[in-house]
Amino acid sequence: MMNPKISIIVPIYNVEKYLNKCIDSILAQTFTNFELILVNDGSPDNCGGICNKYSIIDPRIKVIHKKNGGLSSARNAGIKIAKGKYIGFVDSDDYIDKKMYEILYNSIELHSSDVVVCDVIKVNEENRIILKQDVNTEYRTEHFTNIQALNQLYQPNEDIFDPMGRSGERWIFAVNKLYKRSLFQSLKYQEGVIYEDELIIHKIYYQSKKITSISAKLYYYVQRQDSIVYSPFSINKFDRVYALKDRAKFFKTVRQNKLHEKAFKCYLEVLIWNYYVAKSQLSGVDKELKQLKRTLNKNIVSLIKNPYISWRQKVMVALFIVNPSVFGFVKNVKERQHLKAT
């Protein structure tokens, strides 16, 4: 296809069990003017063979076979050869509603938006919906400036209490969106890290003029027990702390002070949660914990001036900076007192 309207990029690694369902859901789209870029990221199973078979039966499919470099590397490789006016991403263990790209394309064209966001349905591996959701054909459409969209990153997660601070998940995910390809002329996914979405999404929104949100639930996000999110805690999960710290720094650099304060509070909460989970579950990580804590030690002024952090919280964090062990003891005492009172 010479001039597809949309380039759909699917990074693929070790998902032989899920890949056919993913690709079939894309080929079944009611919107047909797209190219499908399958990026085989050095997968050790039969994913490469599956990709090749699909490329024979549908001329819209391009296949890249590359050395394993991770999700970001695969996305970047797809972006590099994409020809569409717009770009969409689908993870290879997920699948999508047959009208997803028709709805997203019509919306982004009608409203001259830079990004369109749809809702996500979380399903387990047996395709059962995990959280009850009202799936219907009617949906709301809302429009946001770049700053308004960035504030959505800090809206509370309505589904569950989450100590990991994953507020506004639908705004962070890479996959439930359609983007103008031009946004990626100056941006690319950072390679060699996990939580890559956290590192780029604020930069995408910041250089957008208009972001459209539609409440249609069109993307099926499969909750795999062996995925990064559900895997046992490891030092790699500190990547998210550094990503959130980078975002807070970005907002400060572009002089968006309120966003900086919100981002700093989020970074702070996730840092302390990760610190104590690592302390209790991992061994031999003292060096990594000191490095993690050092990022906070250098930001005491941001802590003191932040209006979103109460004075009681500031005292507790100051205690953490001085002596994490004492902070942990006080924290545990307060939690036990709270449990006794309830």
- What's the rounded mean pLDDT across residues 270-283? 92
**Can you state the percent helix, strand and coil of the chain, rounding each to 5?**
50, 15, 35
Asked which of 193, 222, 251 is the last residue of a domain, the reply is 222
pLDDT of residue 331: 53
Q: What pLDDT, on a 0 to 100 scale, did the predictor assign at position 64? A: 98
pLDDT at residue 186 tops 70: yes
| Residue 338 confidence (pLDDT) | 41
Residue 229, domain member (yes or no): no
Q: How far apart are CA 7 and CA 61, in angstroms?
A: 10
> What is the pLDDT averaged over residues 256-274?
95
- State mean pLDDT over 25-53: 98
Pairwise pLDDT comparison (335 vs 71), residue with the higher score: 71
99 lies in the same domain as 153: yes
- pLDDT greater than 80 at residue 66: yes
199 shares its domain with 258: no
| The pLDDT value given to residue 160 | 39
Average pLDDT over residues 249-265: 97
Q: How many domains does the chain have?
A: 2
Query: Is the same domain home to 187 and 243?
Result: no
Domain hosting residue 241, numbered range: 237-341
pLDDT at 37 over 50: yes
Q: Report the pLDDT value the prediction gives residue 41, as an integer from 0 to 100.
A: 98
Is the same domain home to 86 and 130?
yes
Same domain? 90 vs 191: yes
What is the per-residue pLDDT for 249?
96
Residue closest to 206 by CA, chosen among 267, 151, 270, 243: 151
The Cα-based distances of 35 to 21, 95, 108, 203 in angstroms read 18, 17, 18, 26
pLDDT digit string, tens, across residues 80-138:
999 999 999 999 999 999 999 999 999 999 999 999 999 999 998 776 665 545 445 67
Model confidence at 261, pLDDT cuts 50, 70, 90, reads very high
Q: Which of 179, 198, 222 is the last residue of a domain?
A: 222
Residues 216 and 304 in one domain: no
The Cα angle at residue 196 between residues 215 and 305, in degrees rounded to 5: 85
Q: What is the mean pLDDT of residues 182-204?
A: 96
Of 175, 195, 222, which residue constitutes the final position of a domain?
A: 222
| Domain at 32, CATH number | 3.90.550.10
User: Do 91 and 216 share a structural domain?
Assistant: yes
In a domain, 104, yes or no: yes
Least confident of 223-227, 251-255, 269-273, 296-300: 223-227
Comparing C-alpha atoms, which of 224, 237, 234, 244 is closest to residue 193? 237
**Residue 158 within a domain:** yes
How much is the pLDDT for 161? 38
Confidence (pLDDT) at 155? 81
Q: Is residue 165 part of a domain?
A: yes
Query: 141 in helix, strand or coil?
Result: strand
Mean pLDDT for the stretch of residues 314-324: 88
In a shared domain, residues 48 and 114: yes
Tell me, yes or no, whether 93 lies in a domain.
yes
- On whether both 278 and 255 belong to a single domain, the answer is yes
Average pLDDT of every residue of the chain: 89
Report the pLDDT averaged over residues 140-151: 97
Contacts of 66 (CB under 8 A, 6+ apart): 39, 40, 41, 42, 73, 74, 77
Least confident span in 30-39, 174-183, 332-341: 332-341
* 287 in a structural domain: yes
